[in-house]
C-alpha cells in the first residue's frame, strides 16, 4: 500500500516566501529524503577554513571513552573553504574506526551547512560541535545516555570551558556567554526558567526526529551567521541567533529543553577574538536577530501573565519598537547605578551597539513584520501528515517508492 503524501500547509508557503524575499533561494528537502537513522549519534561539525583549528578538535573526538556500545559517526560539512580543511581532516582521522564523512555546502554561512548536516545525519541524536570545541572524553556517552533516557527532550545544552590562546582580558568573565562559555542553567534537568528558553549551539545535542518534525511543519531558518577571514566580524548581510532559533522551533513542535552540565567541552578562543572589536561586533550581530527571536519567544512562552505580555508586545511592530527603546533606557539607568562592574565603558558601548542593531533590524522588518509573525505562529498549528486542516493550501511532495 503506497504511503500517503506529506502535507505542508499555507504557513510553510508563507514562511518560505518570506525567507526567499529576505535572503534569496533556499533548499527544500522532500519529506522522505532524509537518510535512515541507523546510528545512535552523529557528531556534526560545520566548518569554514579550519585547517588549523580542526585537527585538535578531531583528536579530542578520537579519545572518547565508554562509547564502545554506541553506534556513532563524525560528519563534517565544509562550506566554501579555500584551504586544505577536508584533506587534513581525513589524515587526522584515518586510523580511527569510527566513520567520518565530509560533505560540501556551496551556500555561504553556517545555517545552510547546519541544515545540510542535520538532513544527512544518520544518528538519532545530532551533536553540534564547532571546529574549535574540544569535547571531554565522555561527551559521546553523556549525550547518548541523556537523550535516550528522556524521549521528550528536543535539545540538550552543554557546559563550556574557555581555553584562551592568550591571557583573557579583564572584561572576559563578565562576557563569557558571548563565547559560548559558562553555565546555561543551575542543575541538570529540564529547563524551567522561562526567561531563557534556548541554548547556544556549541556542544548542544539535537534529537533529529524533533528537527524533522519542525521541518514538516514548515520551519525555515531565518538567521545565518558568517564571519570574515579573521573570524572577528560578521559579514554584511549575515547575523547571528541561529542557535536560539533552532531551540525555539523544536519547542514549538512539542519537545523540551534539557541542560546537562556534565556534557562538557573546552572552547579554544584565539587571540583575534579576545578583543573589544570582536565583543562589540558579536553584540551587534546577535542583537540584529533579537526582534525575530522575541517573536519565537512569544510563541514558545506558556499561557501565563508573562506569556500574555510577550505575545502582546513582541507581535506588534510599534509596541515591539517601543519596547526596544524602553529596554535601552532601562539598561543605561541600571548601568549607572552599578558600582562593581569591571569595565563600564565597554558595557555601555555594547548596550548602544545592541540598541542600534535592533533599531536597524526593526526598520528593515517594517513591511514584512506581520507576515513574519504569521509564519512563526503557523509552526504551532500547521497540520501533521495525514491530518489536513480545512481550507488550507497543501503542497504535495512526490514519494519515490523505488
**Sequence-ordered alpha helix ranges (H) in 96-150:** 110-120, 139-148
Bridging pattern class, strands 189-190 and 256-269 = antiparallel
DSSP 36-77: P--EEEEEEEEESS-TTTHHHHHHHHHT--S-TT--EEEEEE
Cα–Cα distance list, 366 to 15, 43, 271, 284 (Å)? 16, 39, 39, 19
Q: What pLDDT score was predicted for residue 65?
A: 96
In order of start, what are the domains of the chain with their CATH numbers?
6-397 (3.90.550.10)
- pLDDT tens by residue, 354-388: 999 999 999 999 999 999 999 999 988 443 443 32
Please provide the DSSP assignment of 207-257 as one string.
EHHHHHHHHHTT--------B-TTSSSBPTT----HHHHHHHHHHHTT-EE
From CA 248, how far away is CA 254, in angstroms rounded?
10
| DSSP output for 280-309 | HHHHHHHHTTHHHHHHHHHHHS-SSHHHHH
C-alpha triplet 70, 75, 79: angle, nearest 5°: 165
- What residues contact 165, with CB distance under 8 A and at least 6 apart? 268, 269, 270, 271, 274
Percent of the chain at pLDDT exceeding 70: 82
User: And the C-alpha cell for 108?
Assistant: 555561504
Length of the chain: 402
Encode pLDDT of 225-284 as tens digits.
765 554 445 566 557 899 999 999 999 999 999 999 999 999 999 999 999 999 998 888
The pLDDT, as a whole number, for residue 338 is 87
Least confident residue range of 7-11, 193-197, 248-252, 272-276? 7-11
Give the contacts of 170 (CB within 8 A, at least 6 positions apart).
342, 343
> In this structure, are residues 204 and 158 in contact, taking their beta carbons and an 8 Å threshold?
yes
Amino acid at each position: 500500500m503506497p504511503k500517503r503524501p506529506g502535507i505542508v500547509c499555507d504557513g510553510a508557503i508563507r514562511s518560505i516566501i518570506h525567507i526567499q524575499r529576505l535572503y534569496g533561494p533556499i533548499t527544500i528537502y522532500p519529506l522522505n529524503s532524509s537518510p535512515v537513522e541507523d546510528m545512535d549519534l552523529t557528531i556534526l561539525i560545520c566548518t569554514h577554513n579550519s585547517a588549523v583549528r580542526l585537527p585538535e578538535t578531531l583528536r579530542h573526538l578520537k579519545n572518547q571513552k565508554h562509547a564502545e556500545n554506541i553506534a556513532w559517526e563524525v560528519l563534517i560539512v565544509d562550506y566554501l573553504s579555500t584551504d586544505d580543511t577536508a584533506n587534513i581532516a581525513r589524515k587526522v582521522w584515518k586510523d580511527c574506526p569510527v566513520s567520518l564523512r565530509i560533505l560540501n555546502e556551496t551556500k555561504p554561512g553556517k545555517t545552510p551547512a547546519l541544515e545540510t548536516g542535520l538532513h544527512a545525519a544518520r544518528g538519532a541524536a545530532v551533536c553540534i560541535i564547532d571546529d574549535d570545541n574540544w569535547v571531554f572524553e565522555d561527551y559521546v556517552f553523556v549525550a547518548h545516555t541523556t537523550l535516550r533516557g528522556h524521549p521528550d527532550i528536543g535539545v540538550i545544552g552543554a557546559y563550556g570551558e574557555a581555553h584562551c590562546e592568550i591571557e583573557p582580558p579583564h572584561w572576559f568573565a563578565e562576557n563569557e556567554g558571548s563565547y559560548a562559555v559558562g553555565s546555561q542553567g543551575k542543575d541538570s534537568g529540564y529547563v524551567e526558567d522561562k526567561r531563557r528558553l534556548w541554548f547556544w549551539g556549541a556542544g548542544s545535542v539535537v534529537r533529529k526526529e524533533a528537527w524533522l518534525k519542525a521541518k514538516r511543519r514548515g520551519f525555515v531558518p531565518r538567521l545565518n551567521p558568517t564571519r570574515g577571514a579573521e573570524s572577528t566580524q560578521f559579514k554584511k548581510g549575515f547575523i547571528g541567533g541561529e542557535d536560539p532559533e533552532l531551540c525555539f522551533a523544536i519547542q514549538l513542535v512539542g519537545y523540551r529543553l534539557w541542560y546537562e552540565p556534565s556534557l562538557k567541552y573546552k572552547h579554544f578562543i584565539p587571540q583575534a577574538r579576545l578583543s573589544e572589536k570582536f565583543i562589540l561586533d558579536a553584540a551587534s550581530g546577535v542583537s540584529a536577530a533579537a526582534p525575530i527571536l522575541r517573536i519565537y519567544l512569544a510563541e514558545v512562552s506558556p499561557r501565563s501573565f508573562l506569556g500574555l505580555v510577550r505575545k502582546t508586545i513582541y507581535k506588534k511592530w510599534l509596541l515591539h519598537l517601543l519596547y526596544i527603546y524602553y529596554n535601552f533606557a532601562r539598561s543605561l539607568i541600571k548601568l549607572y547605578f552599578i558600582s562593581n562592574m569591571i569595565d563600564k565603558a565597554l558595557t555601555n558601548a555594547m548596550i548602544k551597539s545592541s540598541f542600534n542593531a535592533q533599531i536597524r533590524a526593526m526598520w528593515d522588518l517594517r513591511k514584512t513584520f506581520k507576515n513574519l509573525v504569521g509564519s512563526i505562529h503557523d509552526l504551532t498549528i500547521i497540520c501533521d501528515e495525514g491530518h489536513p486542516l480545512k481550507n488550507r493550501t497543501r503542497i504535495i511532495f512526490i514519494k519515490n517508492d523505488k
